[in-house]
Every structure is written in structure tokens, then in C-alpha cells.
Structure 1
Amino acid sequence: MAEKLPKSDDLKATWSFVEPGLQLILGSDSVATVTPKMYMNVYTAIYNYCINKSRTPTQDSSYGSGSNSTTNASLVGGEIYLKLQQYLIEYIQQLEKKPEESFLQFYVRRWVRFTIGAGYLNNVFDYMNRYWVKKERSNGRRDIYDVNTLCLLTWRDFMFRPNLEILLEEILTQVELQRLHKIELNMEISFAIKSFVSLGFDINDLKKQNLSVYITDFEKAYLDATLKFYTEESDEFLETNGVVEYMKKVDTRLAEENSRANIILIEHTKRPLADVLNNALIERHVEVMYEEFNNLLDQKQTEDIYRMYSLLQRVPPTLEPLLIKFEAYVKQQGLKAVAELKQSQAAAESMGAASKKYQALLPKLYIKTLLQVYERFNEVVYMAFGNNPLFVKSLDNACRDYINNNSIAMPGIDNNGPTVFKGNSKTPELLARYGDTLLKKKAKDSDATADMSADELMNIFKFIADKDAFETHYRRLLARRLINGNMVSEEEEESIIQKLKEFNSLEYTTKMSNMFADMKASKDLRYWFKEQEESDNTDLNIFVLSQTAWPFPQFKQPFTLPDELLGTKEQFEKLYSEKHSGRRLKWLWNLCRGEMKANLARPGKPPFILTVNLFQMSILLPFNKRETYSFEELHEITNLTPEHLESCITPLVKYKLLIQSPEGSENTGKSSTKFTVVKEYKSKKMKVNFMQGVKLDQKHDHDDAQKEIEDDRRSFLQACIVRIMKARKVLKHSALINEVVQQSHARFQPSVGDIKKAIDLLIEKEYLNRVDGDSYEYLA
């Protein structure tokens, strides 16, 4: 290239001077390189030409702009722009690939060099860009571009477009070979693909990226090829491999595609690529995954369950069937576990004596069985589903189902049939008995509650539908623990009451708190009575309980208190009435118990201590006067009903304190049957409890609890209806039913029949009135 600059007004000389430099800037096969001096000479020659022509009036200096002439200082560049445009076309068309190159290699090699050169060329024509090109575009000429854009557009029209088919084919072939692991990922593909992005332009705003070329000429073909490849591969793989292996393969493929996308693709393609992969690898084969799901749960393959969940999570609609299957499976496993426990129960009952111990353990075994299922699948939800709220809800629904409705909770229920809540589940009662076992002090078998906890109790409590039933049974058992003094600790009791407050209303827990207050007041009262007592023949441990807080109905059966206790009773009543005027004491004889010394041991041995209820005490005390009494005589002495009397005598006979004649349980309640106290009682224990065998009270306790639950529910439903109607004034029948069900579900599940009965009762009490045949009006 000549070093002497051409005349500034000579277009031909100027172009001849700069053309060799342009060749080197854009990339030449010659060994010559661009030097700083040559670069500046080219820049100066173009600058001088544009400056000189702009100062000299000329014709048609605006590149066909239609102007007849320009004034001094007009901007000129059209002639040299045309020269550059033609030169770029010729330059690109003469480019040839080497014999050993593929077209892709040739394209990338020349493209990379060309784009670098285009950037430098843009600087060389900087004056023309800043003045002439800017003026033309501001005049509405959208076919005029800055030099860098002109270079790219020329490449697009004369290199890219004519060779698009072969270029695209070779790119897709390279990608497929990479997917088949036949070649390593190389940057040639990345450069080629990015050229699709660079060759898109917004004519109105050249600085704004336009992906039309990339989307139309590359992305669609790439996605179609991806779908075809993985559709064929996944079908073939599943023909010879299991679902677990397939999911591992999919995981690997997705990771590979993600890595490849980060290197060769732009962000725009990643979402549609993910959709294609999800369709080919997941959606098309989702059914076989569903079929495998239960097997994975059976085999406790948490890692594979997590892998399935992770895949399906990529396509959110596919999770719904998995949720349904998971909920059904948990429910089925819960029902199965309870059915197996029931079979064990039946086997124990067939063994006779062994069934008693089993029955005592049933609440613990039952609750533990329910918990084992919950804890197993709670871990699955945590480990495999990441505590996804949808799966947490499915687990809760399943647990609520099998915990309330199973073959032990509802005898006769069909575990394979649809679940219908019938309102008489035994789970609340068994859970309350579990709590009783946990909190009751045991003389023996201290390890019986070692694996039980209050947290376990609350884990089941949150699922039971009839929370009111649990609270009723729990409160009655708590009352027994309090008056019998066999609590493990008051702190443990209060801890559970506090947890119940967090889950439910304060109504029942307030009653429990009042029970503790009564126990403290009774303790103070006992100290006071001992100080006032005139005789100490009887050690009286008295409890004064408020009738509203404690679940004990008034004892209404006939009973004659033994003479030995009558004086102490009358003395306490007298002193209490003096201390608390206006209060009336009602004695709960059926809850009274005591200890008696029995000098029936061998000579030299200490007396036995007999733990008995008050009725048994009234039966045994007469034997201080005579050795034998008939059933009829004991009936006259105690004034107990024959049913109560027989129930209390039975354990005395069974444990051989009394000898019955004639023998046999069928003769116990006959008037003529004789009972004789033994002269020497034989027992390895010096303290013998005869209360455990009294079954009548146990049956009455259960019946009383059920009656209390039913009464409370009737009262609750009436109060709920009145509260709703007071706010609404007038309401249709169906709307009222729905609102009552909604407000009741946190405590229990009322039947429509029960709600209708409550409505009818309120109509009778004139709280409501029927209007328009299908609505109710609030009256009171």
C-alpha cells in the first residue's frame, strides 16, 4: 500500500489507496498484516475525502437522495458508501473454504475474522458513520446503515442465506454426534449459532436486538431435531430398561442439555427447549412412571421417588395424579396396618387370658400403628418431596382418613370400599386412653411408656375428626387420675392441656384447669379437717369437686353407708356447712375407694392391705361379725342393687378372699348363694387391689362418656344455629346447613340429620320460625 495519501477530491485515487487496507482489515489469505500506520492512513484518506467533498458544492452528493444540489458544508459520503457496499459483496463472494475443511469450520473461521474486521472497519469509516449515515437515517433512509451493520447485512445476504441449508445441517449433525457422545462439545457450534443472533436487525432501531433470524432459521429446526432425537431414544430405551434406569437416564440427559444450552444457546431458547425435553422425556412416558410409583413406595426407595418427583415437577400438571396416587397409597397402608393389628387382636382373644393383657395394650399398640404409618410417609414427604405443601396436604388427608375410619375405629367398615364418616369412630377414645397410659403412674412395668410421648399424642390428635370426643374421654380419664392420685407428674398433665389449647377452643381445657384448682383446694381442705376432727379412727382423704368442671354424674342408686364410716361423714358435713354456708354436698359413692387391713395372713405375718371401692368395703366390713353371709343378707345390709352387688362381689370371689357356695358365676347373683371369708388368705402380694375386676363401673363410664358427647353436641349445634341466625336474621335451609357444618368441622363432623333435629328443637323453643317453606327466620 502506497504511503503517500491520495488527493482528497479524487474518489478513484482514494478508493485505490484504501482498498488493499480494507482487504487486510477484513481478513486476507496473504501473510501481510495490518499495521498501525497503514490503519491510520486508510482512516485519514477516507476522512480527507469526506471533509473535502463536504466543503465543495457538488451534485448528487447525497447517494440518490433526490436533492438537486447542496450548499457549502453539506455532508457527503454516498459515493464512498456505494464503493464500500460493492466491495463487501465481492469480498464475501470470493471467500473459499480449504479442501480439508467442512463448511461449518470454514464458516466459523471466516465469520469470526470477518466480525472482528467489521468492527475495525466501522472505526475506519467513523466520520462517515457519524455524519453522513446519521443524516441519511434521520431523513428516513432505512436502507442506509452504519458500516458494522452494513458488513453484517452483506454477510447475511451473500454468505449466510445462500448456504443456510448446509450450515444448519452441519450444526444439527454436530449436536447429534455430541448427544451420542461420539465427539466432544466444541466452540465452533457456539460461534455459528451466535451468528444467527448477530444477523438479525431491527431496521428502525439498529441498536435493538432482533432475533427473527435466530428464531426462524435456527431455533425451530433445533427444537424439532431435539424432539425427534429424544422421542426415538426414550422409546427405544424403555423397551429394554426399567423405569428407575430410565429416570436416571433422563436426569443425565437433562443435565447434558442444560450444560450444552448454557454454552451454545441464548436465553430465549432455554424455555422452549425445556418444554420440548419435558414433552419427549416426561409427558410422553408419565404413565409408566405412575405405574412404578407404588413399587417405589413399597420398596422405600426414597432417592428414586425424589428423582420421579423432580422430573414430574418440571411439568406441574403431571403432579396432580401423583398426589392422588400418594394419598390413596398412604390411606391403603394405614388401613392395612390397622387390619393386621386387628388380626393380632383376634388371635390374642382366642388365647383367653392373654387377651386381657392385649386389651390393656390396645390403645398403645393402636396409636403406635397409626403413628408408624404417618411417620414413615412424613419422612417420604420431607426427603422425597421437599415438604411440598401439596404433598403435605395429601398426607394429612390420607392420615385423617385412615385414622378416623378403619376396622378398629369403626368395626365392620370395609377397608376396600369408599370411606364414609359415620360419627362413631373409636379413635378419639383410644387416643385418650393412650394419653391415660402415658400419664398414669405404674407400680410395675416402668418401661411400658418409655417409647410413648406427648408429641405422639398430639400428632394423632390433629388428625382426628371428633376432637370433642377425645376431649371428653381425656377429661374423664384425667379426673380419674386426679382423684386416684396416680399421675406421673402435674407438669406433664399441664403440658398436654397447654398443647390442647393451641389446637382447640378453651371450653374443655378451661374445665381441666378448674379440676386442678379443685384438687389444690381439696388438699387445703383436708389439712383444715384434720385440725378440726374430733376422732382419728378413720383416715379420710376427701375431694370436694365443682359439679360444672368434673365429668361425674350424681350417684342416684340406693346405698347404705357402713356404720363404721357414718360418723366421719356426718362430722365432715357439719364442719363443711359451717365453713361454707349455702353449699350443698352431693356424695359420689361410686367413686369412693379405700384401703382395709385384713388380718388373714399366717401367724407372724403382717396384715394384708386390701384396696377396694366403697361398695366392696361395705360388703367386707360385716364379715368382722360373722364368717358367712348370703347374697340376700348382703343386699339388705348394703342396699345396693343386685347388679352392683354382684359386680362388686365377683372380684372378691375370683381372687379367693370370699368362698362362694355353690360355685359358678351363674350362681353369684342368686339370693341363697353363701359367701364365707377365708381364714387364711394366700397371696404373694401384701397389697391386693380388688377394684380392677369391677366391670359395671367401666361399662357405665363408657356409656356416660357417650351420653356426655351427644349432649354436648346437641347443645353446640343449637348454639351454633342461634349464633348464625342472629347474625343473618333470615336464611335458606341449605345455606344454614352448610354454615353449621363449616363452623362445626373443627370439633366434630355433624350429620345433616343431627342438624335438622337441632333446628326442629329451636323451632319448638320459638327461637326460629319457618318462612317460605325453605327458609328460617330468627325470632328471639
Structure 2
Amino acid sequence: MDVRLDLTQRSMSPQGSSFNEVWPQIEPLVKKIFTNDTLSKSDWQEIFWKVHLTCMWDPHSAYQLQQRLRELFSFYINREQQFIFSNAQTDLSLMKAYMVAWKRFMFYYTYVPLPFAPLEKLVFNRGGPIGDNHPKSEETDNFLRLSMMEMWVLHIFSRVSDQLVHGAMLLVDAERKNVHSDPQLIVGVKESCVNLCKYLPNRHYIYRNNFESVYLASIESFYQAKGQEYYNEHGVLNYMKWVDQKIKEEIDRANRYLEPHSLSKVIGSCVNTLVARYKDMLADKFLDLIKCRDIISLNLMFTLLDRVNNGIDPLLEKFEKYMTHMGMENLRLEAMTIAQDSEKYIDNLLKLFNMATALIQEAFNSDSRFLTTRDMSINMLINDKTIFALAFALKQTNNGQTNDSNATDENLSVNNTTTVCNQNQKKWFESRNAELFANYCDILLRRTNVSRHLSPEQIESKLKNLILLLKYLQDKDVYMKFYKAHLTRRLILDVSIDLDKEEMMVNWLREVGMPADYVNKISRMFQDLKVSEDFNRQYKLCCDKQVGDLINVKILNSSTWSRNMEKVNVSLPSEIEELMPKIENFYKNKHNGRNLFWHHQFSYGIVTFHSDNGSYDLDVTSYQAAVLFAWNDRPADSISLETLVLSTQLPNVELRKTLWSLVSNSKLKTQLLLVDYHDGKSGKAIQAIKSFKDFRDDSRFILNLKFSLYGKTGRMMKRGRFNLIGRLQLQPEKFREEEAESIIKLRILRTQEAIMKIMKMRKTTTYTALHLELTHVLKEMFVPSKQLIKDQLEWLIENEYIRRDPNDHNSLTYC
């Protein structure tokens, strides 16, 4: 049997799946979409099924379908073109016709490509299985829409774009003039420009080149003339308000008519047209607004100019000059007062600082650039010494010490003080600002009339304000010298308002950048006080409790409290002299290898003085007690200065100062000691004594047995207490001068040390770079002057630690 098998591959496609069979069926349905006619659900599904069936069984038909669709696209777009051009009598009618056609186009643009998704896969996947999940891209999935967009741009938009955008800008300008317009037409034109390039690589090409650029140009052309006209008619203040309003309007308009990324360009265009061209005229009004404290206008000016590149710079320059000038004028007006009154000085600076801070906060939104400018002005005012030179010159003028008795204010200006100062006077006003800061702190932390009328919270607030200013002080080492001296007096005399606040202040000083070695020494002072408390407690327990209650010993570390403590001999009351060896033996038993040195200039006590009018407790220093006890056994005698030198064993100068404190106390109506103004030999009256230097060796002193204290009402009291100590002198005059010299020497050594450290690290550097780095290194202690740096560089070069580059004298090299 001859069996033949036909193995030829036959098409298994179902009937009605070829292009020629499918297209006549779906073409009428597709046309209904183009014409926006009613399409039933079954017809809509029929298009999906037929397209899928054709693409599945006849892949070659995809290209035929694509061609037929393009023909349909072309036909209907040509129809829309005819409709638009037939209604293009004016720009407005063109826009309306375009928007009608655009809405129809967007309808079939949205729905026609949906059933032809399999066609897109076949065309771009090159015959791959339709069901496969190939990577998709917006370009391949929307090639039909891309074709439709290209046709619309080519046949319609490219021909009418200029008229459309021009018409839109006319509507926008009409809106700027408060004339009614149709915003939907503007939005429609914008959306058309955005959607036409949705599937292009540059998604905003048409929008930026055809709509955005013209919109920005219309802003400049409209406001360029309008702005100049408004400024000329209404002035700066009203112009700023008008500009602010117009910018807000343009921002609102941009949110409605432009894409979000165009908003910054709109603001920039408004600023360039309305603000940048007038920034100098606006800045000229700045100082007037500050002087009249027009916060609203200042804030508006700041807001406007801050949008301009470097627009704030003129304001910063003017603000710095204003702050500096106003501060200097305020200080000059009260130069005589502030040079002596620390409260007045600090209050002036704080008032200026708080005024500037409040102004910056309210008018400039706490802008960091203005805060930096404020810091620069306050720093200059705090560290400017000419105001104290002026105070010194005015004082000499008032005393008739200047050469020209008819000196005017110009002759005594801050920048040109005609009075010649000696070296000590120059040192006085060179360190006066640091001393006033320390004095102010002492007034708050010591039991004074000022601190007594303040609550703890108020004192803490004032100290915090002081810290705000202290960070600007350059002579931090000088300040710490004065602060330590005041602290020593407060701790020794037990007149501090609160030790907790003292320690809190020390921590704040550490945080504000005070020299660490000074702060560490001060911290150890509080430790010494605790050690002293333990010592006194142990002494009272081991010795006679009654005697222990009469004396309080402070064990102080000499290296912490004062390096130049000079031992001054003085004849103390016998009761105290007998106790001193016992205390020394007790201490040595507790601490082997340590020596005690009695420093009577730090000592004080209470003596009871019995006069004819009553009994009074007097706070006195050990020197004053030694002088008063000279009359203990002979209260009615007149004792000469020579005799007091022998009985008290005090140095002559210290004795004179002590006597002066007892014969001339401004707070007493009757003095404790009286001076005999008659010559001891001739009996003739001598000239009244005006200072301790006027005492003669034969001057005689009498104990005032009629001494009495008076109350606030002026009534004499039979009992009372009075403090005669005043300002406790910690060191003799010569040691204070030596300490001032030691600060200068220490600055020299610190500068040399810092230069060597920098040169070892850098090896080679320029003078300018060295100056900047040196200032940065030393600023926590002091800011070195140019002369100091120059002198130390010359010394180091002479001693061959560093050398100048022979080819460049501005370069330095480490040897």
C-alpha cells in the first residue's frame, strides 16, 4: 500500500482574521471615535477583538493598519485645520476656534490608540510574541499618539503658534490692567504647548520656546514703563508697596497660567524689571527708614532687595556704618561718665546691641548677614579705646591742664586727641574697657546697693547679657586679670551674693572663650574655700570652741590667688598674735611639708568701738585694726605719725593710706580719727590735708570719742554697724605695675610661641597668611596688634629662628 503524508505547513488562521477582512469592519467604528459619535459597548469591544485577532494571526497586517490609521489622522487633522483657519479673523477668534479643535483632537488622541496596543507591540517588538512582557518605554507604547502630535504640530500649531501666544499675552496684559479676560483661553494655549512635546526627548521644548519665553518678555515690557511711571508719581515707599503687590499678583498668575518650574523665572523677571533697576534708589532710603523705625517698610525693602543678586550688600554697608556711628556718638556724649561708671558703659552697649538685635529680628527676619554686621559693629565699639582717650582729654580740659584753654570739640575729637598722655595714662585707657566689664560683673555679684535691689533672676539675666558682650572683647586676658582681682576681694571678704552664681559665671566665662589658664585658676579658688571650711570645722572641734568662733582662717594657695604676695609685717592685737602659732601647729600636724605664710593685707575683722555717744561695731582691715588698737590703752592721747609707725610696724605708705581711710570717709558725718592741724612745735595752724601724701612725720592723730553713726532720717544712733574696709588692697602699687608689665611680657611670649608653632607646621608662608592664622590662634586670649606681630617677627629673624626668602621679602621660612 502506497501511503503519502502531506507535511506541508498550512495556515491555521481562523476565518475573518486577515487585514482585508478586518479593516472594512472596524473602519466605521474608528471614524465614530474621530467624530465623537456614540459608540456602543459591544462595538468598542469589537474593535479590541478584531485588532487583536489580526495582529495575532497576520503579523504583516500591522503595517497596513498603521498606514490606514495615519491616513485617518491626516484626514481629520486637515479637517480641524480648515475649521481653525476659517475662524481666524482675529487673534481672539483664532484662539477660540483653536481651543474647540484642540478639545476634539485631545478626545480622539486619548481614545483612538487604546484598541491598537497589540499593533504597537508588533511594530516595535519586530514579531515577538504579543503576550511577552518586554520592557516598555513611553516612546514605543505611544507611537500612535506621537504620530498624531507630529501631524498636529506640522499642519496646525506651527502655523498659528505666534498668533495664539500673542493673543494669550494680550489677555494676560488685559488682566494686569484689571480688564476682564477669559483665563481658560490662556490656560488652553499653555496646556497645548505642554502636551504637544509630551513624548519628545525635550519635554518642555515647545512650551519654553513658544509660550514661557514670550510670557517672560511680556512681564518685562509691561512693567518697564509702568514701573518708572509709578515711581516718579508716588515715591519710594509707595513704589515698594506697589512692587510687592505686583510680584504677588504675578506669582498667583504664574501658578494659574504656567508650569511650576516657571515660577522662579517669573519672580526673577519681575525682580530684574521692578527691583534691580531701582536698588540704588531704594537703598538711599534705608537709613531714613531706620531712623524713624519704620519696621514694615524696612522689612519690605529687605524682602525686595534680597531677591536681587548682591542686592543686600549696600544695606549691610549702610547698617554697619549707622550702628558704628550711632554707638560712637552715644558713647562720646557721655564719655566722662562711662569712663568711670561701668553700669552706664555696659547699659549703653547693651541698649545698642538689643536695639540692633530687635531691629534685625523684626525688620530683617533675623537674617544671618545682618547679625554678622551687628557683631562687627559691636566688636568695633567694645574694643575701641579712643572714647577713653577722649574722656581723659576732657577731664584734663576741665581741670585746665590742656595747653589751649579755648579747646573746641574738634580739638578733642575721638580720632584726634590733642592732649598728650604719659605712659601710665595710656595704659589706663588701653585697658579701661576690660576693667569696666569686670567692674560691672563685680557690682552684680557683690553685695551692693545695686544687687540688693535685684532679684536672683534679674541678676542672672544681667549676667547673661554681659556674657553676650564679653564674647566681642578682644583683651580677654586683661579682663580676667581684673575679674580675678574682684573675685578675690569678694571671696576673702565674704561679700559675694551667691557662691553658686559665682561658679555659674566661671562656667559661662569658660564657654565664652576666656583663657583656659585663668579660668582654671579661678576654679581652684573655690576649691580652696571648701578646704578652708573643712579646716575651720576641724579646728573648732579639736580646740577651744569659743576661741574657734572668734576667728575664721582661709587657707589659700599662693599660685592660685596671687603670685606676687608680699609679706607685710604688722603688729596685731595680742589676742590674735597668741592664736597664730596654735593655728600654724594645728595645720602642720594635718599637712606635712607645707608652709603657712600670713598675709595680713587679706585679713579683716570686726572691732567694737565705745564712744561717748554709743557702742558701734566696725568692719575693719587688719591694718585699720592695728592703727585703732594703738589707742586701746590711751584713748585720749594724741599720737604722731612717727609713733604709729613704731607701734603698728606698717610700711610708711600703707600706714598713710590706712590713716586716710580713718580720717576721711565720705560716708561718715563724723570721722573715727581726727587730725591735729597745728604744728607740734610752733603751735601754728597748718594747711588742711587733702590726701594721705600731705601727712607729715609730726602730724598728730586723735581718737574721736564723740564718734557716732546716723540713720537714714539723720537721727543719731546709739548702736550700729559700719563697714570701713572699702576696697581691699590686694597688692602694693609696685606689684600692680609689675602685673601689668607681666601681661605685656606674656603677650610677647604667646605671640612668639604661636609664630613658631605655625612656622614649624607650614615651613614656608607669607606675612599675610601668617597674620591671619596668628590672629585666629590667639583670639581666645587677645588679638595681637600689627606692631606686636612685626616686632616679634623681627626678633625671631634676628635670632635666626626664621628667615626671609631672599627672592621674596614677603615670604618667611622656618630655619
* TM-score bracket for this pair, using the shorter chain length: 0.7 to 0.9
C-alpha contact (below 8 Å) 1:118/1:151 kept by paired residues: yes
Distance in 1 separating the partners of 2:220 and 2:379:
43
- 1:675 maps to a residue whose letter is F
Equivalent residue, structure 1, for 2:459: 452
Q: Return the offset for 1:658.
A: 2.1
1:596 aligns with 2:607: yes
Equivalent residue, structure 2, for 1:190: 187
Equivalent residue, structure 2, for 1:492: 501
Equivalent residue, structure 2, for 1:390: 369
Distance in 2 separating the partners of 1:768 and 1:48:
93
1:36 to 40, 54, 79: 40
Equivalent residue, structure 2, for 1:679: 705
Equivalent residue, structure 1, for 2:236: 243
Local SS of the residue matching 1:306: helix
C-alpha contact (below 8 Å) 1:557/1:640 kept by paired residues: yes
C-alpha contact (below 8 Å) 2:99/2:188 kept by paired residues: yes
2:618 to 588, 600, 610: 610
Local SS of the residue matching 1:594: strand
Aligned-CA RMSD value = 4.5
Equivalent residue, structure 2, for 1:399: 378
- 1:88 maps to a residue whose letter is I
Instruction: Tell me the number of residue pairs that the alignment of Structure 1 and Structure 2 aligns.
Output: 719
- 2:557 maps to a residue whose letter is S
Equivalent residue, structure 1, for 2:288: 295
Distance in 2 separating the partners of 1:618 and 1:719:
48
Equivalent residue, structure 1, for 2:250: 257
Distance in 1 separating the partners of 2:498 and 2:270:
61
Distance in 1 separating the partners of 2:61 and 2:99:
46
Structure 2: 5+ residue runs without aligned partners?
Answer: 1-15, 128-138, 392-411, 417-425, 666-670, 678-686, 712-719
User: CA separation of 1:26/1:490 partners in 2, compared to 1, >3 Å: closer, same or farther?
Assistant: same
Q: Return the offset for 1:300.
A: 3.3
User: CA separation of 1:98/1:321 partners in 2, compared to 1, >3 Å: closer, same or farther?
Assistant: closer
Q: Return the offset for 1:322.
A: 3.0
1:233 to 226, 233, 245: 226
Equivalent residue, structure 1, for 2:87: 97
Distance in 1 separating the partners of 2:61 and 2:522:
105
Distance in 2 separating the partners of 1:488 and 1:48:
96
Equivalent residue, structure 2, for 1:638: 648
Local SS of the residue matching 1:522: helix
2:658 to 619, 629, 648: 648
Equivalent residue, structure 1, for 2:106: 115
Equivalent residue, structure 2, for 1:318: 311
User: CA separation of 1:558/1:49 partners in 2, compared to 1, >3 Å: closer, same or farther?
Assistant: closer
1:513 aligns with 2:523: yes
C-alpha contact (below 8 Å) 2:602/2:730 kept by paired residues: no
Q: Return the offset for 1:675.
A: 2.0
Distance in 1 separating the partners of 2:708 and 2:371:
59
Local SS of the residue matching 1:166: helix
Distance in 2 separating the partners of 1:397 and 1:674:
58
1:477 aligns with 2:460: no
Local SS of the residue matching 1:545: coil
Equivalent residue, structure 1, for 2:6: none
Distance in 1 separating the partners of 2:338 and 2:576:
44
Summarize deviations over 1:96-133 as a string: whole Å, max 9, x none.
Answer: 33999733222222222232133334457777766579
Distance in 2 separating the partners of 1:83 and 1:240:
61
C-alpha contact (below 8 Å) 2:568/2:599 kept by paired residues: no
Equivalent residue, structure 2, for 1:658: 673
C-alpha contact (below 8 Å) 2:568/2:601 kept by paired residues: no
TM-score normalized by the length of structure 1 = 0.79
Distance in 2 separating the partners of 1:472 and 1:620:
33
2:750 to 697, 700, 716: 716
Q: Return the offset for 1:189.
A: 0.7
Distance in 2 separating the partners of 1:160 and 1:678:
115
Q: Return the offset for 1:263.
A: 1.8
Local SS of the residue matching 2:618: strand
Q: Return the offset for 1:366.
A: 1.9
Equivalent residue, structure 1, for 2:419: none
1:88 aligns with 2:84: no
Equivalent residue, structure 2, for 1:173: 170
Summarize deviations over 1:387-412 as a string: whole Å, max 9, x none.
Answer: 44333333322222222226556656
Distance in 1 separating the partners of 2:83 and 2:41:
27
Q: Return the offset for 1:598.
A: 1.4
Equivalent residue, structure 2, for 1:363: 342
C-alpha contact (below 8 Å) 2:48/2:116 kept by paired residues: no
Equivalent residue, structure 2, for 1:380: 359
User: CA separation of 1:323/1:415 partners in 2, compared to 1, >3 Å: closer, same or farther?
Assistant: farther
Q: Return the offset for 1:515.
A: 1.2
Distance in 2 separating the partners of 1:215 and 1:534:
97
Distance in 1 separating the partners of 2:664 and 2:604:
19
C-alpha contact (below 8 Å) 1:25/1:121 kept by paired residues: yes
Distance in 2 separating the partners of 1:467 and 1:85:
86
User: CA separation of 1:264/1:345 partners in 2, compared to 1, >3 Å: closer, same or farther?
Assistant: closer
Distance in 2 separating the partners of 1:90 and 1:726:
86
Equivalent residue, structure 2, for 1:462: 471
C-alpha contact (below 8 Å) 2:446/2:495 kept by paired residues: yes
Equivalent residue, structure 2, for 1:65: none
Distance in 2 separating the partners of 1:733 and 1:329:
33
Of the structure 1 ranges 266-275 and 591-600, higher mean CA displacement relative to structure 2 is found in 266-275
1:692 aligns with 2:726: yes
- 1:396 maps to a residue whose letter is D
- 1:269 maps to a residue whose letter is S
TM-score normalized by the length of structure 2 = 0.76
Local SS of the residue matching 2:466: helix
Of the structure 1 ranges 616-625 and 699-708, higher mean CA displacement relative to structure 2 is found in 699-708
Q: Return the offset for 1:536.
A: 4.9
User: CA separation of 1:583/1:767 partners in 2, compared to 1, >3 Å: closer, same or farther?
Assistant: farther
User: CA separation of 1:374/1:700 partners in 2, compared to 1, >3 Å: closer, same or farther?
Assistant: farther
Distance in 1 separating the partners of 2:643 and 2:52:
142
Q: Return the offset for 1:25.
A: 4.3
Distance in 2 separating the partners of 1:597 and 1:177:
97
Q: Return the offset for 1:246.
A: 2.9
Q: Return the offset for 1:665.
A: 2.2
- 1:117 maps to a residue whose letter is Y
C-alpha contact (below 8 Å) 1:722/1:767 kept by paired residues: no
User: CA separation of 1:27/1:665 partners in 2, compared to 1, >3 Å: closer, same or farther?
Assistant: farther
1:627 aligns with 2:637: yes
C-alpha contact (below 8 Å) 1:177/1:183 kept by paired residues: yes
Distance in 2 separating the partners of 1:49 and 1:495:
89
- 2:703 maps to a residue whose letter is V
Q: Return the offset for 1:384.
A: 4.0
Local SS of the residue matching 2:448: coil
Distance in 1 separating the partners of 2:580 and 2:380:
52
Equivalent residue, structure 1, for 2:327: 334
Distance in 1 separating the partners of 2:330 and 2:221:
47
1:282 aligns with 2:282: no
Summarize deviations over 1:548-587 as a string: whole Å, max 9, x none.
Answer: 1003622266755566654444554455455545433333
